[in-house]
Amino acid sequence: MNRPSWTSIAIDRTRVEIKEFMRSREQMIFIFAFPVFLLVIFGSIFGGQDVGEGVSFSQYFLAGMIASGIMNTGFQSLALGLSADRDLDILKRLHGTPLPTTAFFAGKFVQVLFVSVVQLAALIALGVIAYDVDLPTTTNAWVTFTWVFLLGTAASVALGIGMSSALRNARAGSAILTPVTLFLQFISGVFIVFTQVPPFLQTVASIFPLKWLAQGMRSVFLPDAFETQEATGSWQHGATALVLAAWFVVGTVWAVRTFRWQRPEDK
């Protein structure tokens, strides 16, 4: 009997990952409902305000929430989920099967990709229906959306897998990652217009991928005239691609070198 190929194993693992996510009602509700809830709250309070060049806050905030949703799903939720699975010995049992580590990682990436697509569709639909957000009308804009989305997701997943092994356990991880994520959201142009962030915090934000992910999404959903309102006067597509790709490489190396199937005390 022939052994199953890596591709077939990865596809089967992806199916399992998606099924497990759909059966986890609490996780599914949080990932899908939380960004929608924030968009409703901020859109209702500040939606009518103009942030420059005829751009409403709702239009600006939608781009930021899309970026934040990608990072939250691929980084925070994935890191906490893997940490919880390690605490419950789920990863330990998986490690005892013929499942290749790379196929396991591939399943996680596709699952995050699937969840992010559904989440973004919900955010965009809400923005268009409730807050009159304008969608891009050019092919170039959607091409930019695609590569920013894929690079941002890849970097987030790699960093999420790496971070999962740095957490002592899921409970401690939540206490660590939640404030860190909120801090990055506030300084990266998600909740606040980026040029209103103090310059030294803009510099800090520029180190991390969320700032570049949010800026890339603004280049898609905001008019070309808004480019001059950015801190550098440019969308910086080249820098965005380089930074997100660099974080993907860093995250991948981190994940491969540190990923643990077992709890530290089991060794």
- Token pair belonging to 102: 């790379």
Domain coordinates in residue numbering, the chain:
6-266
Pair of tokens at residue 44: 């209702």
Closest CA to 178 of 72, 82, 83, 102: 72
* pTM beyond cutoff 0.85: yes
pLDDT at residue 26, rounded to an integer = 74
Q: How high is the pLDDT of residue 266? A: 66
Tens digits of residue pLDDT in 53-71 = 788 889 999 999 999 999 9
Per-residue burial over 101-130, b = 16 or more CB atoms within 10 Å of its CB, e = otherwise: eebbbbbbbbbbbbbbeebbebbbebbeee
Percent of the chain with pLDDT over 90: 65
Q: What is the dihedral of CA 109, 210, 193, 31, to 10 degrees?
A: 30
For residues 64 and 28, the model is more confident at 64
Name which of 242, 265, 253 is nearest 105 in CA terms: 253
